[in-house]
Amino acid sequence: MTATTTAPPLESGSVDVVRLMTDIAEKVSGPAADEVDRLGRFPSETIDALRADGLLWALVPREFGGLGATLSEVSEGLVALGRQCASSAMVVAMHHIQVACLVRHGTNDLLRSYLAEAVEHQYLLASATTEVGTGGDVRSSVCAVDVEGGTFRLEKQAPVISYGNFADGILVTARRSEDSPENDQVIVLCRPPDLELEQVGEWNALGFRGTCSPGFVLRASGDADAVLDQPYGDISTQTMLPIAHILWGSLWLGIATAALDRARRFVQAEARKRPGTTPAAALRLADVSALHQQFSDLVRGSVRRYEEIEGDGERLSAIGFAIGMNSLKVSASTLVVDVVRQCMVICGLSAYRLDGPYSLGRHLRDSMGAALMVNNDRIMGNNAQLLLVHRGE
């Protein structure tokens, strides 16, 4: 494999990424959100709109044809998408996690060439990190990459690949070779026409229904340079895990913000019915507003923390940073449920109904999935082990 220089830290481009993503969220994603949820269908209109504006690969530096957007810009855009359609936001977040991995770690000539091609065609990128037989542990693999004569072959039993049937490529984790231990992993870029997905089962979930995430048997082959040079452990620690937790947290904040918006409008409507009096729910609204502020500060502070050290692999790999990013995920996935639940209490039956302006059923169901995306118990277990050796900042 021929290595080239790693891409420089991302710099903000001239395009107003946040405004464009917000416009798409309000004009495209929001009007379709209830149907996407009800039918469990892929939010194609959102992806088409982002593709038309060149936003799917916004994180790619301008030298490769991208918009050179920052993580904070994409994060704010995902808050806007999460306010309107959590399924759309989750698809976009998972896509951008893979884009970030390629930008920062896809350093050989083939992968750099792919970046330019992907920007031009605005490919949608998915991931396959979980596998049957690992108990949900993404840091171990059963399948292995078979490299021979400059070509790789790979087969993986994936219990879930979100929007796999709609993706233009998939980043897949696997053992480095048949002789490698389960935690010696690499990431492989798998793409048509040498990518085959055999769907196993259906996706009929409580929330995030539009992510269309059934299981698949994945079979792929291709140029051996499609295997990223750096170990998956380093990629996960420095990029995939922290960016996943930041972008997930951003869209969960969007869900919470939408719930708070509805609760606020409900209390204001009640106040207008009885001028001169303060509705009983106003005190609870003030309380949940403070909780939402904590949530907002947590997510935005984590974005700043990552951007301050994003070019320093040693600091990104530090134990304290890993603990912080793990804690972000656990806290954010807990706060989103707490905020939505309290907003439901404020709105009462109006939130419980599915056919009114204050309905929060979809928001509650989507929020409940947050703690299950890499189970919080597993993450807290990892933090418990890290804290045994952590010496403090």
pLDDT tens-digit series, residues 90-99:
999 999 999 9
Question: pLDDT > 70: what percent of the chain?
Answer: 96
Per-position DSSP letters for 163-176, written without gaps between them: TGGG-SEEEEEEES
Task: Assign 14 a pLDDT band (cuts: 50, 70, 90).
Answer: low
CATH number (domain holding residue 212): 2.40.110.10
Residue 120 shares a structural domain with residue 260: no
Three-class DSSP category at 194 = coil
Residue 344 lies in a domain: yes
Domain boundary among 68, 91, 124: 124
Residue 3 lies in a domain: no
As a whole number, mean pLDDT of residues 239-266 equals 98
Answer yes or no: is pLDDT of 1 > 70.
no
- What is the number of domains present in the chain? 3
pLDDT tens readout for residues 50-109: 999 999 999 999 999 999 999 999 999 999 999 999 999 999 999 999 999 999 999 999
Residue 12 lies in a domain: no
Residue 190 shares a structural domain with residue 210: yes
Residue 169 shares a structural domain with residue 189: yes
Residue 238 shares a structural domain with residue 361: yes
Q: In this predicted structure, what is the pLDDT of residue 10? A: 41
CA distance 191 to 181: 26
Residue 169 shares a structural domain with residue 65: no
Q: In this predicted structure, what is the pLDDT of residue 2? A: 34
Answer yes or no: is pLDDT of 208 > 80.
yes
Residue 102 shares a structural domain with residue 197: no
Please give the structure tokens belonging to residue 103: 């930008």
Residue 220 shares a structural domain with residue 345: no
pLDDT tens readout for residues 155-168: 999 999 999 999 99
Q: In this predicted structure, what is the pLDDT of residue 194? A: 97
Domain boundary among 124, 156, 189: 124
Residue 120 shares a structural domain with residue 203: no
Helices 281-309 and 241-273: crossing angle in degrees, nearest 10, is: 160
Length of the chain: 393
In this prediction the pTM is 0.94
Residue 100 shares a structural domain with residue 140: no
pLDDT tens readout for residues 306-315: 999 998 999 9
Q: Would you tell me how many other CB atoms lie within 10 Å of the CB of residue 338? A: 16
Residue 203 shares a structural domain with residue 263: no
pLDDT tens readout for residues 289-302: 999 999 999 999 99
pLDDT tens readout for residues 172-192: 999 999 999 999 999 999 999
Three-class DSSP category at 251 = helix
Domain boundary among 68, 95, 124: 124
DSSP letter at 158 equals E
Identify the CA nearest to 336 among candidates 153, 89, 127, 138. 89
Residue 303 shares a structural domain with residue 156: no
Domain enclosing residue 245, as ranges? 232-387
Q: In this predicted structure, what is the pLDDT of residue 12? A: 47
187 Cα distance to chain centroid: 17
Residue 215 shares a structural domain with residue 356: no
CATH number (domain holding residue 330): 1.20.140.10
